Structures are given as C-alpha cells and as structure tokens.
Amino acid sequence: MPRLTGRRFGTAVGTYLILTAVSLIMIVPLIWMVSTSLKEPQSIFTYPPQWIPDSLQFQNYIDVFRLIPFHRFYGNSVYISALVVLGTVFFASLAGYAFAKIPFKGRNVVFLILLSAMMIPHEVTAIPMFLFMRQLGWIDTHLPLILLPIFGAGGVFGIFVMRQFFITVPTELEEAAMIDGCSRFRIYWQIMLPLAKPGMATLTIFTFVTSWNEFFDPLIFINSRELMTLPLGLSLFTDEVGTAWQYLMSATVMATVPLLIVFFLAQRRFIEGVAMTGLKE
C-alpha cells in the first residue's frame, strides 16, 4: 500500500473527522425518535433530555396496533410501493433503452418534452388530476397512488436514470446480438437488463422511498380509513388536543424499517448506479 505523507495523512484525518461529525448530527434525530418511542408521556420533554429512559416502555409499540389499524396501513403501503417500484422500473427501463439505443426521428425533442414534466410542481397539477380521477371513478381507490407515480414525474425521472445508464453500455454488444439474430426486445431483456442492475437498484431505492413516504396524493385521493397508507395513518396520532408523541414515534420507527432494509440490500448496486449514470452523454 502507498504510504501517506504528513500533509496527505492530515487531510485524510480531517476529512474523516468532518464526515464523522456530520454523520453524528444526521443520526441524532433517529436516536431521539427511538428513545421517545420507549418513554412515558411525562418524560418525553424533560430537560436536560433523557436519551436512555429509566423504564423502557415497549408497550407503546403494542398500543399502536390497538389504537389504530396499523397493520392494515402497513400492508397498504407495502403493496402500493411494491407495485409502483415494479411498474416504474419496467416501463422506465423500456423507455430508457429506446431513448438511449434506438434512433428515431425527434428522439431528443421528445426526451426534452418528457423532462419538462419534471419541472411542473406537483401542486399545480393536483386539482386537474383529481378531477380526471373523479371522472374515471378512481377516487377512494389505490389506483391513482399506483398509476400516477409510474406514468408521472416519477416515471420520467426513472426514464432519465435508465437512459443515462444505457448510454454507457457499448453499442458493439447490440451489434453483435443483432448479427446473431436477436430482436430488439430480446436484446433489451437478455443483454441490457442484466447489465443495468446498478441503475435499476438506484431507481428502486429512489422510487420506493418516494412512494413509501408519499403523503400528499393519499390525502387527496383516499377517504376511507381502511385504504389509508402509513403516512396518513401516522397523522391520526395528532388531533386538536395535541400529539401522542410516544405512539407517533413508535409507529414511525416501525415505518422506517422497510426503508433501511431496502437500502442495505441494494446499497452496493446503488453506489455503482449513482457513479455510472452520469458518466457519458
């Protein structure tokens, strides 16, 4: 291994100290959330803050399921997010491959028009989209929460990510496959997709986190309590009287677990995807 000079060693140590300090700042809210979820109500806002409660109230986690149908909200969010991820990755990879590798007239113009959809604030299109969903009879169903992210701005972002990744794949692979008689779809399915795992992992994480944390669309389209997702369910712990912080934090801890699982499972591919999606234009 190459030896570090005094200056380079000092720079490396300083960098790691800064990163460690920033990481500690970022993790403090998470620690406070877990700590609060295990406290009694009267000890939540004591000063100085008590990070480790004298009595760990694991009953708070059980009470969450007793007070609200938390398991139903959890199940709704899981299957909605799963369908959104699968739909977005599939259609975005198809469109991304077309924009990256299939020459057709007006390709760049169409791509720029698609990207312009990402520049429109979601709040601007909320009322027209609500009226459109009402015309289709989809209000108070999960269909808007599944289809709008796939074919809306989230899908456009996915197309951009996958296009940038497919651009980095050598064209010679396609040419060799065509010589062997492969169709476009077979090239996409058997050659491009296996190579695109880092890009797909990146898109999976971004899409899952966005869908899992979505609050605005469920608030607009969902009326029935049994159809609520987790973000809406968490809001039930706040009313005119106040907020039941111990239950809200307990539910939030449980809601955070899938996000951590998805990230750690796709972490290596995610880093590769972020590093590779912008290498070539």
Task: For residue 141, give the amino acid letter.
Answer: T
Write the pLDDT tens digit of every residue in 46-79. Answer: 888 788 888 888 899 999 999 889 999 999 999 9
Write the pLDDT tens digit of every residue in 237-269. Answer: 887 556 788 899 999 999 998 888 888 877 776
Task: For residue 229, give the amino acid letter.
Answer: T
- 153: its two tokens: 């701005």
Give the 3-state secondary structure of residue 185. helix
Q: Is the pLDDT of residue 147 over 50?
A: yes
Q: Which CATH class is domain 59-278?
A: mainly alpha
Task: Please compute the mean of the pLDDT values over residues 80-99 and round it to a whole number.
Answer: 94
Calpha distance 92→106 (Å, rounded):
19
Q: Is the pLDDT of residue 94 over 90?
A: yes
Give the 3-state secondary structure of residue 80. helix
pLDDT of residue 240: 56
In angstroms, the Cα distances linking 258 to 208, 212, 252, 255 are 9, 9, 11, 7
pLDDT band at 278; cut points 50, 70, 90: very low
Which sequence spans correspond to the domains of the chain? 59-278
